[in-house]
Structure 1
Amino acid sequence: MSNTQPHLYTFPGKAELAENLRQYILKAETAALARHDTFRLAVSGGSLPVILAEALLGDSPASQFGKWDIFFADERAVPLDHADSNYYLLKEEFLNKIPTELGTPSVHPIAEKHANQDDDPKQLADLYQADLKRTFTGEGSDTLPAFDLILLGCGPDGHTCSLFPGHGLLNEKTAWVAAISDSPKPPPKRITLTLPVVAAAAQIAFVATGGGKKEIMRDIFDSEDGRGLPSALVNQAAGDKVSWFTDSPATEGVAYSRG
């Protein structure tokens, strides 16, 4: 557990949020390229790909997308062209809109031939973990992968990635990528990064918008009862490596200090 505290930033609207998220991502990209000439990040689904496009593909896009190495914080066990696929969502809302002259990111989707709701997702998780090991540490290493940035959403129940409140996967300490067959949100079969891998990232950013998030945001930041929620566990494990980008409706009534 970290002894430091996460940053909570609140903006009056989505345009201001997107601009500040843009500056944050560009700063993370610059630091990563200075370290190892690659920007390794993991992204989740939901509204995040749309917000990424708003943040980075505006009037003067500046990212060096050809040096991006993109993984998924979680993924559903469905074909890559399925509406429930996080890969499909990212491709349609963000990747396909990147101007050619800015380069093409390297993207790591799941192994599609094992992406079926009739199959055990364990093999899907194991194959994705093997891909992480090839990219970060080599096949024989147990050193946790250190993403330069992980971009996450927060569900109205406090879940993030495919880590859900009260689920046994919150206690996983060994696997980098875990399978889940009983997701409370459909589709039930998925894979997800585990909490130790999320917490090992150099930087972690949550994006939470809209009045529908205000109650769970109060639980995460102000309530002792919310300390066991997955998003709150990321806060506790990673401390000031975590930044929350929110709008005013999402943080209405939250007492936690901003900035």
Structure 2
Amino acid sequence: MFRRFSEFSCQEWYRSERVDENIFKIRETFIDEGHGCNMWLVRGRHRNLLFDTGFGYVSLRSFLGEDVSRNVVAVSSHSHCDHIGCNHEFECRCIHSAEASVLANPTGANTIYDPYAVPEMIAVPIDPLEVKSHKITPAAPTRLLEGGDVIDLGDRAFEVIHVPGHSPGSIMLYDRRDQILFSGDAVHNGSRGIGRTSWYGADQDQYLASCERIRELPVRTCHGGHFASFDGARYRQIVEEFIAWRWAVTVEAEPSKTSQ
């Protein structure tokens, strides 16, 4: 028996786990971790950071409650469909300037909803038409971010690090004091460790340049956009492995110096 998204309560659809002091990991319960993103809530003294907002099938604001939501700064790691679906529910919406137009005018193509979102990613029977017909609600950003900008919560601050490659406007958020990194899809603990480079707007050469720039970043804990969190040693391993792989591919693709 198929269910509709409207039949799920927010408490049923989402789950939250405290992973550190005032840091919470939120997941869409029924969506596999490869498709559904990790949403990160950081409670601050003056405002709360929400890094990514899921697919938007069920209200995230209702799950968080008004005490949290009214002071939320919703920051998008990038504009893919699994990260921006509930942006419209929050008054303060931030994204890198390179992807601002996608939030204002989302389509199945520019958010990669088509072909990324499929009924098979959901662990309960959902009407396939519900998945296919879902539209990301337009929500123009209220603040455009650039590398080096700061998101200040009052008692802690996060530096914006621009890491194009997975998408043109991919960003990470870095707490320099505590060496905590929210890496979005740029670096994660999946089988490849690096976000796909075959989607809309991806660029492997930009990805290489980004990884070479962030390889020495002091990281104690990395919270990725998918899969489990990991330590600094694993972070460096992932970045170094991609750099080595990309350089190897580049060398193999170059014509031999002795060829005519």
Classify the TM-score, shorter chain.
Answer: 0.3 to 0.5
Q: Which has the higher helix share?
A: 1
Q: Using CA pairs under 8 Å that are at least 6 residues apart, name the structure with larger relative contact order, 1 or 2.
A: 1
Q: Which has the higher strand share?
A: 2
* Rg comparison, structure with higher value: 2
Q: TM-score, with normalisation over the residues of structure 1? A: 0.33
Q: TM-score, with normalisation over the residues of structure 2? A: 0.33
